[in-house]
Structure 1
Amino acid sequence: MMTQALGEFIGTLILVLLGDGVVAGVSLNQSKAKGAGWIAITLGWGLAVTLGVYAAAFLGPAHLNPAVTLGFAVIGRFPWAGVLPFIIAQVLGAFVGATLVWLHYYPHWAATDDKAAILGTFATGPAIRRPFWNFFSETLGTAVLVFVLLAFAKGKWTDGLSPIGVGVLITAIGLSLGGTTGYAINPARDFGPRLAHAIWPIANKGGSDWGYSWVPIVGPLVGGVIGAGLFVLI
C-alpha cells in the first residue's frame, strides 16, 4: 500500500504542476502564454492528467483524486483501508505541485496585481457565486468523471492507452461543464493548492477564499459516489 500511495503522491504532483502551471501561464502578466484562454487551460489540464496517470500507473491504480478513491471504495473496487493513505498522498502531492508552480513562476507574481487571477492559478472559483448551483456543477462533473472511468475499465483498450482516454475525458468535462466553477472535480487538486496559496508568501496574493472551499471538496466526493453508484446499477 505504501508503494501505491507513493504513486498517488507522484502522479498528483505531476497533475497539479502541469495543470496549475498552464493556468499560471495563461493568467500571469509577462508570461508568453498570457491570454491563451480557456481552450489552452482545458487542453493543458487534460494532458496534465494523462501524464500524471502515466507517472503513477507503474506503482498503483493512479486514482490521483479522492473522489475516485472514495467512489471506487463504496462499490467495492478499492479497499477501505487504502482510502485515507491515498487521500493524504494525493493532497500532499497537490500541495507540492502547487508549490513548484509558485517557484517556477516566481517573478511573475510580483508583475501581476490581479488577486483573483493569482488565486485562480492555485484553486478554483465560481464564475457566478451561487453555492447550490456551484455544488451541483462540481457534483455533476465528478459523477460523469467516475462513471466514464468505470466504463473505461469494462472496455477493451490497447495496452497503455487508457491514460490518454482519461485525459480526453478531463478535457471534455472542462470544455462542456467547466465554465461554471473551473471544474475542480477533485478535492485534492483544489485543497492542496489552496493551502499552498494560503501558506506561502506569494507576491500580490489576496485571501484564499476558504468560504467557498467546501464546494470543490464536498461536491466531487458526492459526485464520485453517485457516479460509481449509477454505474453499478446499470
Structure 2
Amino acid sequence: MKIVGDGAIAAFLLKDKKANPFVACFCFGIGALIGISASLNISGGHINPAVTVAFAALKKFPLRKVWYYLLSQYLGGFVAAAAVFAMYYDGINEYDGGVRSAFNSSTSTGEIFATYPAPHLSILGGFVDQVIGTAILLFAVLAVTDENNIKTPKGLIPLVLAFVITGVCVAFHLNAGAILNPARDLAPRLFTAVAGYGWEPFRSPQNGHYWYVTGVLGPHIGALIGTAVYLLTIDHQNLLLLNDESGNVEVEEIRPTTNGKFLNKCIRS
C-alpha cells in the first residue's frame, strides 16, 4: 500500500512541485486492494495497526498475536518508505539539491513519506480529524466483514474496502493527509529520520506533538470509537457476547472461509 501511495505522491511532487491528493488517495486505495487481497486468506487482511487493535478489543483477534502483527505492519511501512526513497533518490536529489528538508520549505520532500499538518491545523484539530476519520473507517470495515450484516462475498471484500479507504482519504486529506493507519505515518517518519532528514520530521510539526497525537493516538482511539459505535448500533449480538461474563471467550483465530464468511475459532473456559 505504501509503495503505491507514496510513489504517486513522489511522482507528482517531484515533477509538478505539488502533490496531487486525489491521485494519492486513489493510489493508496489501490495499494490497500493489493495488500488486503494478498493477505486476506493468511491473516484476515490486517495491514493497519488500528484495525488489529480494534479487532483484538472485539475478541475477533487473539491478544497474543497483536504485538507481532503490529511489528510486521510497522516494519512494512519502514521498508516501503525505503523502497520509494531508493526509486526516487535521483529525483529527490534534483528537487532539493541534496539538502534534505521534511517540512515547511519550498524544497521539502518529507510529505512523500509521512504526513504533515496544514498551516491552519491545531493539535486538537488534528487529533479530532483522525479520530473521526478512523472511526468511520473501522465502522465500514466491520460492516463489510460482519457475517451477520451484508454478507459480502470474500472476493469482493478487498475491492469494497479499497473504495472505502479511497473515499475516506479524499474526505480527510486536507488537515493532516488522512493518516488512518499509524504504520503508514510513524514507520516512514522513522525512516526519514535516518535517511538524512534528521529529527525534523518529529520535532518541527506542532512543536513535536503532531507525530504521536495526530499520527498514533488519533487513529487508535478513533478505531476503538468506531468499533464501539458499530457494536451499539448494529452488532448487538457481539456486544452481548462481550458483556457476557459467564462465557470467557478467547479467540484463537479469525480467518475468511471460502463462502465469504469470517470463521472465529474460539476456546471457552
TM over 0.5: yes
Output the TM-score relative to the length of structure 1. 0.86
Which residue matches 1:3?
none
Instruction: Please say which structure displays the higher CA radius of gyration.
Output: 2
Which residue matches 2:186?
191
- Percent identity, aligned pairs only? 32
Shift in alpha-carbon separation, 1:109–1:36, aligned structure 2, 3 A? closer
Shift in alpha-carbon separation, 1:82–1:206, aligned structure 2, 3 A? closer
Q: For residues 124-163 of structure 1, what are the alpha-carbon distances to aligned partners after superposition, in whole Å with 9 as ceiling and x for unaligned?
A: 1111230001000011100000110000013222331111
Which residue matches 1:228?
227
Distance 1:61 1:201 in 2: 36
- Superposition pairs for residues 36-47 of structure 1, below 5 Å? 37-47=20-30
Which residue matches 1:213?
211
Instruction: For 2:230, give the aligned amino acid.
Output: F
What RMSD, in angstroms, separates the aligned Cα atoms of the two structures?
A: 1.8
Describe the SS at the equivalent of 2:176.
coil
Equivalent position to 1:75, from 53, 58, 61: 58
Describe the SS at the equivalent of 1:64.
coil
More strand by share: 2
Which residue matches 1:175?
170
Q: Is the 8 A contact 2:21 2:173 kept in 1?
A: no
Distance 1:151 1:72 in 2: 13
- Tell me whether 1:161 sits opposite 2:152 in the alignment: no
- Superposition pairs for residues 16-95 of structure 1, below 5 Å? 16-28=2-14, 31=15, 35=18, 37-95=20-78
Which residue matches 1:10?
none
Which residue matches 1:100?
83
Output the TM-score relative to the length of structure 2. 0.75
Q: Is the 8 A contact 1:119 1:206 kept in 2?
A: no
Describe the SS at the equivalent of 1:62.
coil
Distance 1:57 1:84 in 2: 19
Instruction: For 2:211, give the aligned amino acid.
Output: S
Structure with the larger RCO, 1 or 2 (CA within 8 Å, 6+ apart)? 1
Instruction: For 1:213, give the aligned amino acid.
Output: W
Q: Is the 8 A contact 2:113 2:185 kept in 1?
A: yes
Distance 1:198 1:159 in 2: 39
Long gaps (5+) in structure 2: 234-269
My pick for the range that moved more, 91-100 or 116-125, is 116-125
Q: For residues 181-228 of structure 1, what are the alpha-carbon distances to aligned partners after superposition, in whole Å with 9 as ceiling and x for unaligned?
A: 1011111110110011111236xx882134121121110000011111
Instruction: For 2:50, give the aligned amino acid.
Output: A
Count of residues in Structure 1 that have an aligned counterpart in Structure 2: 215
Q: Is the 8 A contact 1:91 1:188 kept in 2?
A: yes
Describe the SS at the equivalent of 2:117.
coil
- 1:120: Cα distance to partner? 0.4
Distance 1:106 1:55 in 2: 28
- 1:34: Cα distance to partner? 5.9
Runs of 4+ in 1 over 6 A off after TM superposition: none
Equivalent position to 1:147, from 119, 139, 148: 139
Equivalent position to 1:134, from 126, 132, 135: 126
